[in-house]
Structure 1
């Protein structure tokens, strides 16, 4: 018998039409648009809890809320409230607004503020800095001010295994690590305890997380709540050099990223796709015990997004084209240095000129205030 292709649904997302299979979520439809055209990456809703390789994830953080302006071709009424794009399936003729809707952008600011209520401002000492989803989310959709005045919720750091340390104060309860333990490891030994504002990630009766794939909860964590004890405080991610590598492993695929500091492998992580998701989870042997270049077959430098802070200082100047607008701005607004001015080296003269310049600046400030 001749195979019949499934009927495709047509959805309009931010004015762009795309055809997807039934059962596809709005988030997946947006990603399909971006994968076909890299310039449209910015229209994809952010995801803090959704993780495609982990079935049943999503629908908790509300970061991906969108406006459905038209439910379907048969029912053209808009949905009354914003809906999470990661768990809402498309309908034929659906019209979705994301970056083009003011209500959506305003809601994202509220979500960022909500997530940062208890999240500590310890980016300068957090190992996740530079590859943190919450940092990106707050930068793109957040506000520079906060209305929260109460004390933040705090927890003590815990070693929940031989390789993993838990910073519950940073956790946003996305449940990714719980789904990973459920679906990737043989036995889950941790979960979300208590309810409401007392909820926290913890192990069962202070048990230790110790199985061959426990390290993957570090990779899936969108913030710095679960950290690699073998990598803590060793280096900033933008100072390290990522290299794709593989090895023959009887437990996992053996496909990893080696993070170098000079000639030293300071950490090993699983490879992630365009959306920062691990498609092939790796074992603890590859992640924590194989820290020598001789243990691996190098494939070449990892491809890093140009917009990522990880790409800092990793591009040759002769291969990066300077944007035209920057050159035009420099030509029109920047003044040439006057090299004909006298070069002063006398300390007393420098001190006297500094005092005069400060007096002039104070005088201008007083005039502006009076006016």
Structure 2
């Protein structure tokens, strides 16, 4: 019997070709290539069904619709909900139109978002920080007053800062798909839209804490962790335990010997791999409750990696090493350490430095 090969579509994203199955979205195809061509995402969350198409952060230009119909699409499209076609050519970072559109999206998201990163628990692992730094501009044209809301406790473990919310709907989909009875959602329309609970009901179920992990900003925060530590002063390690409700695979965040926070593990796109229960997240804050697997893998660009990990865990970029080797003088560590100023002044290096300074100021 002959093997029937599955039909595959060839898609080109920023000049890189990849083969994907029919039904794959542009976002998924780009992620298959890698982060160098993958569009950013604020509302799309692959583990949750139905997400995407709300924030417009992932807009791309389709320069050719397909091999059969190579005409370009007239407008930018949301890559997270647009399926690919065979022979499609997509421009992401290579399109000036897309770059300008992203700047506008960042500016729109920051219209009402407060600039309180120094006091926000999400600082250092905030998707909006990354998105605005990589795709935004340093100015704003907005002159009106920002809309503000009072902080609200929407459960025993969760506090809502609606002022920071970007209405990505991730928490709504999480509650809808992980629990039997969702009690919160988006109320109102337009500039009056907000995340809230029905008739003041509190979010209280075994998996409610996952809305904290999926939130891309600091709108939903862990009340047991609030203001305890900055993320770059803590060290994440992978751990697991035997749990009847969930997989028990988590990240423990240490400050010294103390477990200050427990979160679900995330993939390279910042999306939760396996959702965890509230017992693992909020009640097991001792090392003895867990089996430690080792340090978590952290991107070198992240502030979390600062001064914590060995070189074999966080690889330095080859370009930076080659640049440093070609432009900077190697240090001779065999030289004796001298701390006396009288001895330092006798050295040839000190005399050369003083002469260079003197020549510089003469100019």
TM-score by length of 1: 0.86
Match of 1:284 among 273, 278, 281: 278
The equivalent of 1:192 in structure 2 is 186
Deviation at 1:5, TM superposition (A): 3.3
Partners of 2:88 and 2:98 lie apart in 1 by: 17
Partners of 1:14 and 1:318 lie apart in 2 by: 31
The equivalent of 2:117 in structure 1 is 123
Instruction: Say which SS state the counterpart of residue 114 (structure 2) adopts.
Output: coil
Deviation at 1:42, TM superposition (A): 2.3
Over residues 173-223 of structure 1, what are the superposed CA-to-partner deviations in whole Å (9 max), with x where a residue is unaligned?
Answer: 000000000001121010000000000000001110000000000000000
Partners of 2:144 and 2:43 lie apart in 1 by: 26
Over residues 22-75 of structure 1, what are the superposed CA-to-partner deviations in whole Å (9 max), with x where a residue is unaligned?
Answer: 0000000001111xxxxxx22110000000000100000000000000000111
Partners of 1:104 and 1:45 lie apart in 2 by: 10
The equivalent of 1:10 in structure 2 is 10
The equivalent of 1:22 in structure 2 is 22
Instruction: Say which SS state the counterpart of residue 298 (structure 2) adopts.
Output: coil
Instruction: Say which SS state the counterpart of residue 185 (structure 2) adopts.
Output: strand
Match of 2:108 among 95, 110, 114: 114
Root mean square deviation of aligned Cα: 2.0
Deviation at 1:324, TM superposition (A): 2.4
Partners of 1:11 and 1:337 lie apart in 2 by: 61
The equivalent of 2:287 in structure 1 is 293
The equivalent of 1:369 in structure 2 is none
The alpha-carbon distance between structure 1 residues 230 and 80, as it changes in their structure 2 partners (threshold 3 A), is same
TM-score by length of 2: 0.88
Structure 1 residues without counterparts, runs of 5 or longer? 35-40, 342-359, 361-371
Over residues 223-281 of structure 1, what are the superposed CA-to-partner deviations in whole Å (9 max), with x where a residue is unaligned?
Answer: 00000000001111111010100000000000000000000000000000111101210
The equivalent of 1:346 in structure 2 is none
Partners of 2:328 and 2:151 lie apart in 1 by: 48
Partners of 2:253 and 2:221 lie apart in 1 by: 15
Partners of 2:74 and 2:312 lie apart in 1 by: 52
Match of 1:259 among 248, 253, 261: 253
What is the correspondence of 1:1-371 to structure 2 with a 5 Å cutoff? Answer: 4-34=4-34, 41-316=35-310, 323-330=321-328
The equivalent of 1:350 in structure 2 is none
The equivalent of 2:340 in structure 1 is none
Deviation at 1:3, TM superposition (A): 5.9
Deviation at 1:327, TM superposition (A): 4.6
Partners of 1:165 and 1:75 lie apart in 2 by: 50
Structure 2 residues without counterparts, runs of 5 or longer? 330-348, 355-360
Over residues 140-198 of structure 1, what are the superposed CA-to-partner deviations in whole Å (9 max), with x where a residue is unaligned?
Answer: 01101111111101000000000000000000000000000000112101000000000
The alpha-carbon distance between structure 1 residues 122 and 338, as it changes in their structure 2 partners (threshold 3 A), is farther
Deviation at 1:317, TM superposition (A): 6.2
Partners of 1:210 and 1:317 lie apart in 2 by: 43
Partners of 2:42 and 2:312 lie apart in 1 by: 36
Partners of 1:97 and 1:340 lie apart in 2 by: 51
What is the aligned length? 334
